[in-house]
Amino acid sequence: MKKLFLDTNIVLDLLAHRMPFYTETAKLFSLADMKKIKLSISALCLADANYILSRQNPESEVRKILRKFKVLVNVLPLDDKITDLALNSEFKDFEDAIQYFTAIENDQDLIITRNQPDFKESKIPVMTPGEFIKTIKK
């Protein structure tokens, strides 16, 4: 089973129903629900999603959304090693560095994001949701 690491933008596309990105992202989560793929996120991603969603929704509603969401993903830890790797990396964006090293340190097969240029030096494949879904259909 493929292990896909989701960048924060993908999680927000799903949880905030951001169009036109929601449709392809929802297909990924359907595949996970059918146990065809395993989806993981960083602990930072969950905190970021909570913060962003709370700016537009009551906190109680956001917690309800995140509890339902958590059933579909594995939350990977953010630890001292990942933080050091991110701080000492060539990534311009610290959050992207944390995401990348969380994926690497947890043996993820690929990263799913809409911001592929942010991961141009990645040692593992980086795809959009649509690109990955096309590989499943082949």
Digit-by-digit pLDDT tens for the chain (138 residues) are 899 999 999 999 999 999 999 999 999 999 999 999 999 999 999 999 999 999 999 999 999 999 999 999 999 999 999 999 999 999 999 999 999 999 999 999 999 999 898 898 899 999 999 999 999 865
The span from the CA of 33 to the CA of 39, in Å, is 10
- Token pair listed for 66: 């995140």
The span from the CA of 121 to the CA of 17, in Å, is 30
Residue type, 17: H
